[in-house]
Every structure is written in C-alpha cells, then in structure tokens.
Amino acid sequence: MPLVRVDIKKHQDPTHAKRVGQLIYAAMHSAIGVPEHDNFQILAEHDEQHFIFDTEYLGIQRTDNLVIIQITLNEGRTLEQKKLLYKTIAESLHGELGVRMEDVFINLVEVKKENWSFGNGIAQYAS
C-alpha cells in the first residue's frame, strides 16, 4: 500500500500532474509489485513562492521542472528493488514527459503494516 505525494511547480498543461502520477503508479506496479487498484496519490502544484529547492545540492543541477515524489509504503523492499523503482520512475518521466532525470527527486518512507487504516477505523493489515 503506497501513498504517493507529488509536488511540482504549476504547469501550463492542466493534465501534467495527473500524467506524472500515472507514470509513477505504473513504475511502482512494475518495479516493486504494487497491486492493481492500489493507487492513492496526492498531486499538488505550487507557485514560485511555495516550491523551494536547492538548484545544486549534491552537484545535481535542478530546474523549475523539478518533480518531488514522496512514497510512503510498507517496509521490506530490498535495496535492489528500491534502486529499480528510482530508475524506473526517472526514466519513465523522462521518456514520456520530457522531465530531466536530474529533476526527479524521490523519497521513500517505510512504515510497519499496522500503521495503515484504509477506512472504517480498522487497521486492515494489523495481525
């Protein structure tokens, strides 16, 4: 169960954020086996005053087309799976939407399964 948050600068194309989300979901499905229909995303666009980032941190040159992706998911993926996910997302956004690889910033937040409630006040994954 991933929960995906995507933050980008306001884009001219009103479908851009949704397309970014679709590509991220497809990458999660193929790279780490996220099941079909397990798609929960918050897609936010910001003006210049509310989208702040360093353009050169770690020697990576970033532009205003930066896509910040935070994925909260159950713990347990291997380092290789995580690397494949990062690569798949970046290559997909680059290939399909022209987002520079340098402009794809991803943060994974791993949590225990009991930290989810999908509705009804029940911890569905808790044993």
Q: For the chain, give every domain's residue range.
A: 3-115
Q: 74 or 122: whose pLDDT is higher? A: 74
Contact 96, 88 (CB under 8 A): no
What average pLDDT score do residues 47-62 get? Answer: 96
What pLDDT does 113 receive?
85
| Mean pLDDT taken over the chain | 95
Task: Give the residue among 97, 86, 107 at the shortest CA–CA distance from 4.
Answer: 107
Please determine, for residue 85, whether its predicted confidence score (pLDDT) is greater than 90.
yes
Answer yes or no: is pLDDT of 15 > 90.
Answer: yes
Contacts of 75-79 with CB under 8 Å at 24 or more apart are 75/110, 75/111, 75/112, 76/110, 77/32, 77/108, 77/110
3.30.429.10, 3.40.718.10, 3.40.50.11540, 2.40.30.30: CATH of 3-115? 3.30.429.10
Residues taking part in catalysis: 2
Q: What average pLDDT score do residues 22-32 get?
A: 97
